Structure 1
Amino acid sequence: MPLPKEHRYTLADALTWEEQERIELIDGAAVMMAPPSRVHQEIAAELTRQIGNYLDGKKCRVYPAPFAVRLFEKAHDRPEDVDTLVEPDLSVVCDPGKLDDLGCKGAPDLVIEILSPSTQRHDRLTKYNLYERAGVAEYWIVSPEERTVQVSLLSGGRYRVAELYTPQDIAKVHVLDGCFVELSKVFPTE
């Protein structure tokens, strides 16, 4: 839910906020994030485990939230210049030059968002458009309720939905050659 906008918030403001507060900045507007559910965290942990195991010994890294991604930050930007800061549920970054002590400056190669009732619209619309505009090559939207993974790939500056996976599928990670995710382990039967 957006905070009352008294002014345009920036990374400089965010660096002064309490560490336990989960707030994203979208074009200068602060958006509070609710704590994730247990199921959300189990899905995030399994995705992190599978992708992390694949990346062992490789240059790419997977980062679970909280991990600050400054999608549009340029090398010369000061914290006062950065007005978009998101915390994807998982980010895969293959360019070590994009990493710093705060997180990632620029677009990760892969972003995964896990839907919750409070973030569904935000993840499907706002973040979808942000990630597309920033040049995130692959965007997964994971729905715990529907037990699906929607994979969108960037082509010509626009996303196209490439696949819609269900629990019995093995999902291909397009930006990581040879990486596949067993969705039966992501969405186990109760």
Structure 2
Amino acid sequence: METPEEKSLLKEPDITSGRHTYADYLTWEMEEMVELIKGKVFRKAAAAPRRIHQKLAGNLHTELNLFLKGKKCEAYIAPFDVRLPVSSKKDDKVHTVVQPDICVICDPEKLDERGCIGAPDLVVEVLSPGNKQLELQHKYEVYEESGVKEYWLLDPEGQTLLIYTLKVGKYEASRLMTSGDIAKSSAIPVFELDLEEFFREIK
């Protein structure tokens, strides 16, 4: 248990101090998770995600792991740092570090002991009341710009899925899918998700 004096020594980001880098991010010691998007600090909610959020993310991660067994692609679940460099992979030049709920990486060269550096092939974000603006605006932009091939937005409350597929550098949205639909991934060929069965499991 940390004393008040020890807590006062923990380094937290000064969100007013301009543009931060991954090198800065590595020095921070915080009780809640943060993400860095284009140099700006975004704090995640201090409270744990809702149970339905965790169950949905965990179940989908399990489905992906079973499907990918023996294949070169690997699935990871948050917390897992994904660094999205623009011009340089050096720590002090990377301005975006995110923690997707789930990501799949098929290029082993992008993996190191600290996570992933470069765009995953597939990113899945699970919506919750506190993160919708972050996922729908800021993360959408950096995922598109960095070349994430496929971006899934899952809404556990509405039991819907929206898939963004990268085509010629821009995302194209699927129709809004729900129970009764079969979601098919283009980034992970042959992977399919029966949404009726999947959402039934999280009730």
Secondary structure class of the residue paired with 1:62: strand
Q: Which residue pairs with 2:135 in the alignment?
A: 123
The answer to whether the aligner puts 1:90 opposite 2:102 as a matched pair is yes
1:78 positional shift: 2.3
Moved more, 40-49 or 3-12: 3-12
1:156 positional shift: 0.9
Q: TM-score, normalised by structure 1?
A: 0.92
Q: Which residue pairs with 1:169 in the alignment?
A: 181
Paired residue total: 188
List structure 1 runs of 4+ shifted beyond 6 angstroms.
none
Aligned equivalents of 2:109, 2:140: Cα separation in 1: 24
8 A Cα contact 2:184 2:193, kept in partner: yes
Aligned equivalents of 2:14, 2:200: Cα separation in 1: 36
Q: CA deviation digits over 1:63-98, x for unaligned, max 9?
A: 001111111266x53211111101011100000000
Q: Which residue pairs with 2:7 in the alignment?
A: none
Unaligned runs of 5+ in 1: none
Aligned equivalents of 2:120, 2:23: Cα separation in 1: 22
Question: Match for 1:37 among 29, 43, 50?
Answer: 50
8 A Cα contact 2:122 2:188, kept in partner: no
The answer to whether the aligner puts 1:57 opposite 2:55 as a matched pair is no
Higher relative contact order (CA 8 A, sep 6+): 1
Which residue identity does 1:52 align to in structure 2?
N
The answer to whether the aligner puts 1:179 opposite 2:175 as a matched pair is no
User: How high is the sequence identity, in percent, across the aligned residues?
Assistant: 43
Aligned equivalents of 2:183, 2:68: Cα separation in 1: 16
The answer to whether the aligner puts 1:137 opposite 2:157 as a matched pair is no
Question: Match for 2:38 among 20, 27, 34?
Answer: 27
1:174 positional shift: 1.4
1:62 positional shift: 0.4
Aligned equivalents of 1:53, 1:122: Cα separation in 2: 30
The answer to whether the aligner puts 1:14 opposite 2:51 as a matched pair is no
1:20 positional shift: 5.0
Q: TM-score, normalised by structure 2?
A: 0.86
Which residue identity does 1:51 align to in structure 2?
L
Q: CA deviation digits over 1:7-40, x for unaligned, max 9?
A: 3221112112237531000111110011321111
Q: Which residue pairs with 1:150 in the alignment?
A: 162
1:185 positional shift: 4.0
